[in-house]
Structure 1
């Protein structure tokens, strides 16, 4: 709250206002910008976007302080972080509809053509056995609930079907671990 008082005082003083304002902005930058940059980075933004958002947040903060509309409940850092979060979410909402044209794939892929990653995945599913492959396909690809899975494959209870599905998954996981593969090896 001390910073708010300094900021309000810097706005009110006509002489030396520029130097006082600059010092307040520097202090705000040092206190709040790392948190804003961390948030925007976590949300998929870059450093330049963080700087732009923070500058806009500072302008909003300054305008509210100059007009006397500022009502800080916690501290300036949290207030600026809140403004920045709202600005980032607003930017995200408007930007998600504006996909650049180079983001689209221009060469169509024939859906009947299997990709190398798909072939790897099918190979590891086959190592678990035909029945396991069918169980996993029914559950994950066809989205059958476990009770229907039990009925379809002749298990006495849903618990038996769940255990068998788990064992099948473990067989596939073990085969993948033996080859020391990672998730990225299956990305296309």
Structure 2
């Protein structure tokens, strides 16, 4: 059995790490420039590059793997393909904010609400719930301000409490078999 010098032992993990470091140095700047030109962020570039790097590595492990271009060009091609696919997927999501802002609802669209009955129902959930729901729905306070006003540590805590209050109201409606018409005039 032949004994090898310690400095000549190179593990596959070390080789892979060295390859990845080299590719980050040589290929990532080009991918980042491309993603930037396509209105992407540095974070987008890092995500796309890492995906491209994984694909490149997995393909390179097959015996039949043969590329005619440089590794950097090959990774750039994968990154471009991934970005275009991501862009096409994201483009299908359409924001309706601008349309929603342009919609006007006639004043007589909603029937008049019997506020006394509604307040009576909300009061059954407790005074704190009543105040919390009023601050959110009528005063239109954002969750951050709502959390501060009611002494919650985080916005998430305020959101959870609002949900619990709504569940109390829903349970009361189910229990009493109220309908929408019970609250309109």
Q: Which range, TM-score by smaller chain?
A: 0.3 to 0.5
Question: When the two structures are superposed, what TM-score results if normalisation uses the length of structure 1?
Answer: 0.47
Looking at CA atoms only, which structure, 1 or 2, has the larger radius of gyration? 2
